[in-house]
Amino acid sequence: MDSTVVSTGTEEDKWGGGTKPLNVSYGKMMMWFFILSDALTFTGFLAAYGFSRFKFIEEWPLADEVFNHFPFLHGTDAPMFYVALMTFILIGSSVTMVLAVDAGHQMKQKKVAFYMLLTVIGGMIFVGSQAWEWKNFISGEYGAVTTKGGKILQFLDVETGKRVALEDFAEVGPRDAAPYGNSQGVWFESSGEYNATYTFEEVKKGFEANPNVTIRTQQLILNEETGGSEKLVLSRADALVKLNKDGVGVVEGANLTENEYGAPLFADFFFFITGFHGFHVFSGVMFNLLVFFNVLLGTYERRGSYEMVEKVGLYWHFVDLVWVFVFTFFYLV
């Protein structure tokens, strides 16, 4: 029995690579593959952050106390205000990117250039803001004392309950070590106080001379009035005993090994997660800037397509979406 083969004329297109899956170009498809793989990386970072925070919940810093700075408002307690502003700016740049893509569909060169420029400016502001936030986080504001068990002791005003900086009560005395400098190596390296402005003895002496200062530990206790958790604040007598018994060194600011705000892991995750995301934003700004100049030169007008704007738009929206999750889980929760 003979069989009849019917040819539709589409075999060559299907098997020869002519048909585009879901009508998506090769460039867009590769961008989606990159976004998917990168999303898994950020998911791993945030999952590890969640597990670590749960394990070291008592030592974990309070975000409202760490990220409470605002440019040009020194000394003003503005918890999360600037981080919220950064988030708004980044989301706003995502909106301008949408408008740039839409203008590209309409082949309106000047509008594409205008909205791409706004997107670049928004990205630059965000990257600069993140660098400023890093500077404040690294330099610190109050300082703390480290204990034998690797914990930290923070200082509070007895009457107001507000944090007190080491510079407000530490008594600086004569020192045997040479001042820190490029030629002298690490200051007080043998005593474990790396680049600290004050020694532990100076802090202890100043604390003993200021009865209006007490200590807050990292231990969480239940506040019966509010029903929430808060750090344990010691009485003046208990604070003196704790400082003399467990205090060993001074920490100011944060790095990969020490953190005046709490658990060193918090600083590690802060640097890795926000740094990794910041690198993505910086890369996106560079890509957007390149596309912006190509728009001005009329490159895409001559091609008859602004698909490249769509490609960088996909990347930019992904970066913005990732920040929403970082902002939610790292700063808010």
**pLDDT tens sequence across 5-21:** 455 554 445 444 455 55
For strands 229-233 and 247-251, give the pairing.
unpaired
- For the chain, residues with pLDDT lower than 70 are 1-22, 173-195, 227
What is the predicted pLDDT for the residue at 317? 96
With the CA atoms of 287, 282, 102 and 318 taken in that order, what torsion angle do they form, in degrees rounded to the nearest 10? 110
Contact between 140 and 270 under an 8 Å Cβ cutoff? The reply is no
Residue (of 207, 227, 224, 223) closest to 215 by Cα position: 207
What the chain holds in terms of domains, given with CATH numbers, is 24-140+265-332 (1.20.120.80), 144-250 (no CATH)
What is the predicted pLDDT for the residue at 188? 43
What is the predicted pLDDT for the residue at 176? 58
In terms of DSSP H, where are the helices of 106-246?
A: 109-139, 200-209, 236-246
Contact between 214 and 189 under an 8 Å Cβ cutoff? The reply is no
3-class SS shares of the chain: helix, strand, coil, % to 5? 55, 10, 30
3-state secondary structure of 155: strand
What is the predicted pLDDT for the residue at 223? 73
What is the predicted pLDDT for the residue at 191? 45
What is the predicted pLDDT for the residue at 76? 77
What is the predicted pLDDT for the residue at 59? 82
What is the predicted pLDDT for the residue at 177? 53
List, in order, residues 6 or more apart from 172 with CB less than 8 Å away: 198, 202
What is the predicted pLDDT for the residue at 284? 96
